[in-house]
Amino acid sequence: MKNLKKLLALLFTAAMILSLGATAFAQSAPLDPADADNASITIKNPAKGETYKLFKLFDATVSEDGKKIAYQGTIPESLKSFFEPINGEDAENPSEYVQLKEDVDEAALFAALEVWAGSATEMISAESNGDPSIVFSGLPYGYYVVTTSHKDSTTGKAAITVDSTQPNAEIYDKNETKIVNEGKWADGTSYSIGDTIPYTASFITTNYFGSGKDAKIISKYVIEDTLPEFLSDVAISQILIGGEKWADAPDAFDENNQIIIPWVDENGSSLYANGVKIVVIYTAKLTSLVNVNAANKNTISITPLDENDKPYSDPFSASFEITTYAAALKKTDGEESLAGAKFAANGLIVEETADGIYTVVSFDPASEELGTEMATDENGMLYIVGLARKATLTVTETVAPDGYNLLTAPVELAPQVLEKEVYKESGIRYYDADGNLVAEESSTTTSKEVEKNLSELDAAALEVINQAGAQLPSTGGMGTTLFYAIGTILVLGAGVILVAKKRVLAE
């Protein structure tokens, strides 16, 4: 009997840990009607929303001296290859006492007990309401198999005895659902400055941190985004918990770039089912404080807190990178560069950074209206900084260089991708810990001296060619002058005749 108890306990404590102790804020689940033995089994750290079921495999009795426990009952047909009557079994003297056979394969026994519990009739069950424990009371003494409906691979099961020597037993559910940051996504990885980026971040949660007796209930989750300076106008669209909208969701991250989600009520009971998913959907606008032709990273994390608001662990984090690029246009006559041309692109609003260099403010690819006018520099170059990788500009020439014809049709301009970062101006740049460009120096920034290198785009620039203009001759050549002279003579002649006629009439 000792071997049976020891083996079963060993098998099942892989998923649950057995212990004795007091119960507080317990969910009550009494057997009706209660048995005279009035034993109890307490499930500690139950997962909210999970159902716990008790199956009695054998009765349990204790010897008069209280030193031995005997197990009685009928061996289920599916378990006869593992158990046998203690005194043998024959028609005249069947035994009520059972024991485990020698050299039983533990894994096979565990699998058989799972199958048995799946078809056996439960004695009592309860779905956890989130309280720190469930107390099954009014039980008869016996050897019980306990199962749960955990949805993950660490399905909780246990086997335990309650008898006169241990009438009140406890089981600690390990609750091994892992905290997982499933990552952070936008609809794409490259954007133009001024674009609104839609982010979605999701997290798989757990109600407890640690396992067994050391498991502690999680009271809050803190979700934090680094929100570097290349993101602005951050707004939370919605937060889903277990597929349902969180009614108390804020409109924005707080001053610490955090969202704090309470996870227990005033009694310390879990508010949500174990393993539910948190989904945070929010937007942010891409600003000009962005590295060009290089990664711009922000990181989102989730941290569980205990009842004293102390973190149980380092944050579980994931990062996402955004890129933006530059486009260059070269104005020539086919051989030489031309200065003095002006262009505008459909839906493109820009601000001038320097001669011939423009930073995107916004770009609407669906617009058919011309945006800001832009002029080429003295070398015929025009640079537009801050475009999404797949952006295509429809560019119209609004002013041609002196002595050249205006283009009769728009041209299409796309960004050029280089192997190095692009700097639109020289000077000292400041970076945060993730390598993102920031506006000012601080104790946490690093600095780098850079030289303007937009000319690196020249070789890949779109060449736009203008043809030289000319003064066309008047239609008709000298014949036109002759017509002018004849017309003048006729007019004068008519005038002379008119005067002469008046004189004749006067006489």
**Per residue in 397-438, pLDDT tens?**
999 999 999 999 999 999 999 989 999 999 999 999 999 999
| Structural domain includes residue 8 | yes
Same domain, 302 and 331: no
Same domain, 243 and 306: yes
Structurally, how many domains does the chain consist of?
Answer: 4
| Structural domain includes residue 187 | yes
3-state secondary structure of 268: coil
Q: Which of 466, 368, 369 lies closest to 408, judged by CA? A: 466
Query: Looking at per-residue confidence, does 286 or 177 come out higher?
Result: 286
Same domain, 494 and 455: no
State the Cα–Cα distance between residues 43 and 147, nearest whole angstrom.
11
Distance between first and last Cα of the chain:
163
Q: Which of 28, 25, 49 lies closest to 40, judged by CA? A: 28
End residue of a domain, out of 322, 350, 380? 322
How does pLDDT run across 83-114, given as a tens digit for each residue?
A: 888 865 554 555 678 888 888 888 888 788 88
End residue of a domain, out of 150, 173, 196? 173
Q: What's the pLDDT at 132?
A: 86
Residue 298 burial (C-beta neighbours within 10 Å; 0-12, 13-18, 19+):
buried
Rg from Cα positions in the chain: 42
Place of tokens 């409906």: 149
Same domain, 208 and 286: yes
Instruction: Inform me whether the pLDDT recorded for 152 exceeds 50.
Output: no
Same domain, 345 and 437: yes
| Structural domain includes residue 472 | no
Same domain, 267 and 190: yes
| Structural domain includes residue 506 | yes
Q: What's the pLDDT at 87?
A: 67
For the segment 323-350, the average pLDDT, to the nearest whole number, is 96
| Structural domain includes residue 350 | yes
State the Cα–Cα distance between residues 192 and 54, nearest whole angstrom.
60
CB crowding 199-218: b at 16 or more within 10 Å, else e: bebbbbbbbbbebbeebebb
| Structural domain includes residue 470 | no
> What mean pLDDT value characterizes the chain?
85
β pairing state of 357-363 and 381-387: parallel
What's the domain range around 490? 477-507
Same domain, 309 and 384: no
For the segment 243-251, the average pLDDT, to the nearest whole number, is 96
How does pLDDT run across 430-472, given as a tens digit for each residue?
A: 999 999 999 999 999 999 999 999 999 999 999 999 988 654 4
Which helix (H) or strand (E) element contains residue 254?
A: none
Query: Looking at per-residue confidence, does 414 or 217 come out higher?
Result: 414
Same domain, 150 and 242: no
Same domain, 97 and 209: no
Instruction: Inform me whether the pLDDT recorded for 260 exceeds 80.
Output: yes
Residue 170 · residue 13 · CB < 8 Å: no
Instruction: Inform me whether the pLDDT recorded for 361 exceeds 70.
Output: yes
Same domain, 318 and 394: no
| Structural domain includes residue 406 | yes
In the sheet that 374-375 helps form, which strands lie side by side, from edge to edge?
Answer: 374-375, 342-345, 393-399, 411-413
Q: What's the pLDDT at 319?
A: 93
Same domain, 169 and 56: yes
How does pLDDT run across 188-206, given as a tens digit for each residue?
A: 899 999 999 999 999 999 9
Give percent of the chain with pLDDT exceeding 90. 60
Q: What's the pLDDT at 17?
A: 43
| Structural domain includes residue 211 | yes
Can you give the pTM of this predicted structure? 0.76
Same domain, 200 and 295: yes
End residue of a domain, out of 173, 207, 238? 173
CA distances from 93 to 96, 433, 476 (A): 10, 80, 137
Residue 240 · residue 272 · CB < 8 Å: no
Which helix (H) or strand (E) element contains residue 71?
A: strand 69-72
**Strand runs (DSSP E) across 128-276, as ranges?**
133-139, 142-148, 157-162, 168-173, 180-186, 196-204, 208-209, 216-217, 220-225, 231-241, 244-245, 258-262
Read off the CATH number of the domain in which 397 is found.
2.60.40.10
| Candidate from 10-19, 167-176, 189-198, 282-291 with smallest mean pLDDT | 10-19
